[in-house]
Amino acid sequence: MPEAKRPLPKPTPETRHFWEGTAASELRLQRCDQCRHVYFPPRPFCPKCGSRKVSVFKASGRAKLYSYVINHRPMPPFTAPYSIAVVELAEGPRMMSNIVGCAQTPEALQLDMALEVVFEKQTDEITLPFFKPAGA
């Protein structure tokens, strides 16, 4: 039986800059040139004002833990229990990720704890962003 693999993203023209960014160890967000709204996930227009004039920029990589579950159900190649989290980036948008570099327990995973991005290469094309406790 082939070894189960983490389901990896298939970039599209609208998201390619994000995945090129993670491969270069950068978390890239988009900002509207008109209304300055910062948003995620990627798209070539501002979801707040509808403008097509948007720019890509490098985010700080700082975030805080907004909410999560600790999954106990088997999901190869993951080793349960593991966290599935939504983090709030310092720039405002939220994204899903896993919290790494700490115990996968309610005690270790406190809401609003400070986090920072880490990048883990999966394939030549895909590097995923994860988050770890800040300073850990």
Partner 1 sequence: MKRKSIAVVGAAETTELGLIPDLSQIQLHADAALNAMADAGLKPADIDGLATTPEWTPVLANYLGITPSWVDGTMVGGCSFMLHVRHAAAAINEGLCNTVLITHGESGRSRVGVGGFVGNRASLEGQFEAPYGITGPTNVFTIPVLRYMKTYGVSEEQLAMVAVVQREWAAKNPRATMKDPITVADVLGSRMIAYPFRLMMCCLVTDGGGALILTSAERAKNFPRKPVYILGTGEGAESWMISQMEDFTTSKAFRVSGKKAFDEAGIAHKDVDHVMIYDAFAHLPLYGLEDLGFCKPGEAAGFIWERNTAPGGKLPVNTNGGGLSYMHSGMYGMYALQESVRQMRGIAPAQVRGAKISVCHGVGGMFGASGTIIFSNEAQ
Mention every residue, 6+ apart, whose C-beta is less than 8 A from residue 27. Answer: 21, 58, 59, 60, 61, 89, 117, 129
Cα(100)–Cα(102) distance, integer angstroms: 6
The site string for partner 1 over 76-115 (x = CB under 8 A, - otherwise) reads: --x--xx-xxx-------xxxxx-------x----x----
- Residue 46 or 95: the one with the smaller Cβ distance to partner 1 is 95
Block residue for tokens 């790494």? 100
Q: Which span (29-37, 55-63, 64-72) binds partner 1, by CB under 8 A?
A: 64-72
The count of other CB atoms within 10 Å of the CB of residue 115 is: 28
**Which residues, numbered 21-40, are part of the site for partner 1 (CB under 8 A)?**
40
Mention every residue, 6+ apart, whose C-beta is less than 8 A from residue 48. Answer: 32, 35, 37, 39
- Residue 62 or 126: the one with the smaller Cβ distance to partner 1 is 126
Residues that bind partner 1 (CB under 8 A): 6-12, 15, 19, 40-41, 66-73, 75, 78, 81-82, 84-86, 94-98, 106, 111, 122, 128
